Amino acid sequence: MGPQPLGPQDPQVIGPYELLARLGSGGMGRVYLARPSGGEGPAVAVKVVDADYARGRDYRPRFRAEVTAAGAVSSPYVAALVAADAEAEPPWLAVEFVRGVALRELVEQCGALPETAARRLGAGLAEALAAIHTAGLAHRDLTPANVLLTSDGPRVIDFGIARAAGAPQLTRTGAVIGTPGYLAPEAAAGFRAGPAGDLYALGAVLYYAATGHGPHLGPPHRSRPGTFGGRLHRLSGHGGPDLRAVPAGLRPVLRDLLSRDPLDRPLARAVRRRLLPEEPGAQEALDYLPTWLPAAMRTVLASQLRAAEGYLQPPERARSGLGRAFSQFGGALTGAARAADPARPAPPVLPAPTPAPTPATLSRRGLLLTGAAVTVAAGALGWAALSRPARPSLPSPPPQLPWLWVHSTDITADKEPQFATSTEDGMLLYSSDDQLIAVRGTSGVTAWSFRLPDTQFSDPVVTGPLTLALAGDTVYCFNTADGSQNWTQGQLSTSLGPVVPQTLIMANDYAVYGGGPVQPAAGPPTRYAWFALSLGNHSVKWVIDEEIIATSMIFASDSAYRGQTQTGALVFASDRSGYVVVRDPLHGVELWHFPATSAADPATSPVKRTSWIVPDIDQFYLPIGQDELTLQALAAVDGSELWQAPLPLGAAGPWAPPAPYRGLVLTTCGPSLLYAYDASNGTQRWSCALPGPPAAAPSLVVNDSLFVPGVSGHLYRVDLRRRRVDGVFAPDSRFGIGWRLSTDKALLYARLGRSFYALAVPS
Sign of CA dihedral 645, 650, 656, 657: positive
Cα 742 to Cα 700: distance, rounded to the nearest angstrom:
7
Query: Which phi and psi angles does 272 have, rounded to 5°?
Result: -60, -45
Q: Where are the alpha helices (DSSP H) in 14-141?
A: 51-54, 59-70, 103-110, 115-134
Are 430 and 99 in contact by the 8 Å Cβ rule? The answer is no
Indicate if 152 belongs to the active site. Answer: no
Cross-strand partners of 22: 4, 32
Taking alpha carbons only, the member of 437, 433, 436 closest to residue 407 is 437
| Cα–chain center distance at 253 | 31
Cα dist from 389 to 78, 180, 357, 742, whole Å: 12, 34, 11, 32
Produce one character per residue of 225-239: b if its CB has 16 or more CB atoms within 10 Å, e if not. eeeeeebbebbbeee
47 is in an annotated binding site: yes
Query: Which phi and psi angles does 210 have, rounded to 5°?
Result: -85, -20
Cα dist from 493 to 186, 334, 541, whole Å: 61, 85, 12
Cα dist from 400 to 242, 368, 390, 691, whole Å: 43, 11, 16, 12
Query: Of 141, 425, 616, 744, which one is the catalytic site residue?
Result: 141
- Name the DSSP letter for residue 707: E
Cα 492 to Cα 233: distance, rounded to the nearest angstrom:
68
Cross-strand partners of 450: 436
Are 298 and 306 in contact by the 8 Å Cβ rule? The answer is no
Rounded CA Rg of the chain: 31
| Cα–chain center distance at 548 | 45
Return the beta strands (E) in 456-589 as ranges: 461-463, 466-471, 474-479, 485-489, 493-494, 497-498, 503-507, 511-518, 527-534, 540-547, 570-574, 579-583
* Binding-site residue set: 47
Active site residues: 141
* Binding-site residue set for ATP: 47
